[in-house]
């Protein structure tokens, strides 16, 4: 048991946990509590959270309304584990999701609950697309990140993760994401040409999978025109469009789905991360009814549709998505963040900013500079992580529910850290 003298000691983690651990290296304290946008370590130091569990905590830590529902459910002996047996928790979730999210958008989907992680859902989406079309090839995009299990890794671009696979990730062709070659070139034209030329060497794919804002890949956001153009060419060639909304969805860019602004109607949507609202693992596939070619139990898993997570997910839908309040706050806070970031990068040759809604990135040109800034920020009481091919982009993902004062304080720390890190020897 920790005593005051070894509070924040990383001894157990450094000696007992696998070398694979990562976040406890970036933030070398022991976190014991969290509320809203604030984390507290064992010594009582408070940190502002701009990491939000890598996009899991869009509604902040331990939202009391969502937790109360979970506590009540547990106390009433509600089914916690039921494989994929029918439960009131799952029924309520599907009915509310349909009424609150799908029906107002005119979208019709069936629900598939795979294992609880994002990668589980991506695996299921790829497998279903291949089964439904009878084709194997999948188009993914440069800098795309879709998880690290083997199927998901095959559509993930990052070299570091791909090298860890132990065998060649197969069945994918990578195409340039929007603005990969800069603003002057429309990469959807290139994709169109490669797919329409029967001698391009690219086999007709089962599906195209993409993030509308690439999170781990460096906060690269696709334009409305590009997304619509990709959707059109999918329709033209009978290719399924899979939107991976695991990180950009659940309100991160303003509306519930990150593709709402482009009016897309994807064949499959993948959700996870903030879906449960409190950090409980839950993932979901939304699939067009005609794609539901699964045989019963053909794709399974022990932990599908965790009931406790479904209870909190339903509570999150009821609390945050029955009106426009949260969406409006995201737009407003996103503007504030963008304004501050523009001030930070102003006049700098090495810094630039990008992103959409409250999913913003500060590109520092090099991983080294980004690392120094992030380290300084942590010393100043701000938890924020890096992304991009070289970890050169600082990814700002504060909870969507953060109050303006805390957001400004976090941005002040970031601003100060940029100045201090720039003074350090490289
Ligand atoms: N897809 C996207 C867009 C992600 O950002 C992530 C994780 O960061 C995943 C898939 C994989 O999710 P998980 O880590 O839960 O397997």
Residue 381 region, left (φ>0) first, then alpha (ψ -120 to 50), else beta?
Answer: left
Distance from C-alpha of 38 to C-alpha of 36, rounded to nearest angstrom:
6
Q: Please check whether residue 217 is in contact with residue 145, taking contact to mean a CB–CB distance below 8 angstroms.
A: yes
* Whether the CB of 395 sits within 6 Å of ligand 1: no
* Whether the CB of 216 sits within 6 Å of ligand 1: yes
* Whether the CB of 245 sits within 6 Å of ligand 1: no
How far apart are the CA of 281 and the centre of ligand 1, in A?
A: 12
Mean pLDDT of 241-250: 98
The neighbouring-strand residues paired with 46 are 40
Nearest-atom index, ligand 1, CA of 244:
3
pLDDT tens for 286-321 read: 999 999 999 999 999 999 999 999 999 999 999 999
The confidence score (pLDDT) of residue 184 equals 87
The confidence score (pLDDT) of residue 92 equals 98
Q: Where are the domains of the chain?
A: 4-63+324-423, 78-320
Top mutation candidate among 115, 147, 157, 245 for ligand 1, by most atoms within 8 Å of CB: 147
How far apart are the CA of 55 and the centre of ligand 1, in A?
A: 9
* Whether the CB of 123 sits within 6 Å of ligand 1: no
Distance from C-alpha of 137 to C-alpha of 115, rounded to nearest angstrom:
23
Q: In angstroms, how far apart are the furthest CA atoms of the chain?
A: 69
Closest CA to 69 of 381, 332, 242, 313: 313
pLDDT tens for 371-423 read: 999 999 999 999 999 999 999 999 999 999 999 999 999 999 999 999 999 88
Q: Categorize the per-residue pLDDT at 260 as very low, low, confident or very high, splitting at 50, 70 and 90.
A: very high
How far apart are the CA of 291 and the centre of ligand 1, in A?
A: 23
Distance from C-alpha of 330 to C-alpha of 379, rounded to nearest angstrom:
27
Closest CA to 291 of 85, 134, 66, 399: 134
If you ran DSSP here, which 8-state letter would residue 162 be given? H
Give, using CA atoms, the residue closest to atom 11 of ligand 1.
147
Distance of CA 334 to the CA centre of its chain: 17
The neighbouring-strand residues paired with 107 are none
How far apart are the CA of 122 and the centre of ligand 1, in A?
A: 8
pLDDT tens for 96-134 read: 999 999 999 999 999 999 999 999 999 999 999 999 999
Q: Which fold has domain 78-320?
A: 3.40.640
| Rounded CA Rg of the chain | 21
CATH architecture of 4-63+324-423: Alpha-Beta Complex (3.90)
Quickly tell me which residue has 């009391």 as its tokens.
64
* Whether the CB of 119 sits within 6 Å of ligand 1: yes
pLDDT tens for 175-200 read: 999 999 998 899 999 999 999 999 99
Q: Please check whether residue 404 is in contact with residue 62, taking contact to mean a CB–CB distance below 8 angstroms.
A: no
Measured CA distances, 46 to 82, 307, 379 (Å): 38, 32, 11
CB burial of 392-423 (b: ≥16 within 10 Å; e: otherwise) equals bbbbbbbbbbbeeebbebbbebbeebbebbbe
Phi then psi dihedrals of residue 53, to 5 deg: 55, 40
Beta strand 240-244 with 172-175: parallel, antiparallel or unpaired? unpaired
For the stretch 247-250, contacts whose Cβ atoms lie closer than 8 Å and that sit 24 or more positions apart, written own/partner, are 247/54, 247/55, 247/118, 247/211, 247/213, 247/215, 247/216, 247/273, 247/359, 248/55, 248/211, 248/212, 248/213, 248/215, 248/359, 249/273, 249/274, 250/58, 250/274, 250/275
Q: Please check whether residue 262 is in contact with residue 188, taking contact to mean a CB–CB distance below 8 angstroms.
A: no
Sheet with 352-356, strands from edge to edge, namely: 352-356, 359-363, 393-396, 385-387
Distance from C-alpha of 42 to C-alpha of 24, rounded to nearest angstrom:
14
* Whether the CB of 357 sits within 6 Å of ligand 1: no
């Amino acid at each position: 048991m920790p005593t005051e003298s070894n509070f924040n000691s990383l001894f157990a983690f450094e000696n007992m946990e696998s070398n694979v651990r990562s976040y406890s290296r970036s933030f070398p304290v022991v976190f014991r509590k969290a509320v809203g946008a604030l984390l507290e370590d064992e010594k009582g130091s408070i940190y502002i959270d701009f990491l939000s569990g890598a996009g899991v905590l869009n509604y902040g830590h331990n939202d009391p309304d969502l937790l109360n529902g979970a506590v009540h459910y547990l106390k009433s002996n509600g089914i916690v584990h039921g494989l994929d047996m029918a439960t009131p928790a799952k029924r309520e979730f599907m009915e509310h999701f349909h009424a609150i999210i799908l029906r107002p958008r005119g979208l019709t989907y069936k629900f598939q609950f795979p294992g609880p992680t994002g990668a589980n859902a991506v695996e299921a989406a790829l497998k279903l697309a291949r089964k439904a079309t009878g084709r194997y090839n999948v188009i993914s995009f440069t800098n795309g990140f879709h998880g690290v299990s083997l199927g998901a890794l095959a559509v993930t671009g990052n070299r570091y993760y791909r090298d860890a696979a132990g065998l060649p990730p197969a069945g994918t062709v990578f195409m340039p994401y929007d603005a990969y070659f800069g603003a002057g070139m429309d990469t959807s034209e290139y994709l169109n040409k490669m797919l329409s030329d029967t001698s391009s060497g690219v086999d007709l794919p089962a599906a195209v999978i993409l993030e509308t804002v690439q999170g781990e890949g460096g906060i690269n956001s696709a334009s409305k025109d590009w997304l619509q153009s990709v959707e059109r060419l999918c329709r033209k060639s009978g290719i399924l469009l899979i939107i991976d909304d695991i990180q950009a969805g659940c309100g991160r860019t303003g509306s519930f789905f990150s593709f709402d602004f482009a009016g897309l109607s994807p064949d499959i949507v993948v959700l996870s991360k903030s879906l449960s609202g409190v950090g409980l693992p839950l993932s979901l596939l939304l699939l067009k009814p005609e794609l539901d070619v699964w045989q019963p139990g053909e794709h399974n898993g022990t932990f599908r549709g965790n009931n406790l997570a479904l209870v909190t997910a339903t509570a999150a839908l009821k609390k945050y998505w029955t009106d426009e309040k949260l969406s409006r706050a995201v737009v407003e806070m996103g503007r504030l963040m963008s304004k501050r970031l523009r001030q930070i990068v102003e006049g700098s040759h090495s810094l630039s900013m990008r992103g959409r809604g409250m999913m913003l990135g500060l590109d520092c040109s090099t991983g080294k500079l980004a690392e120094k800034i992030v380290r300084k920020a942590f010393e100043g009481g701000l938890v924020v992580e890096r992304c991009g091919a070289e970890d050169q982009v600082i990814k700002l993902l504060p909870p969507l529910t953060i109050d303006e004062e805390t957001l400004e304080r976090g941005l002040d720390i970031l601003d100060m850290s940029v100045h201090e890190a720039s003074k350090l020897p490289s």
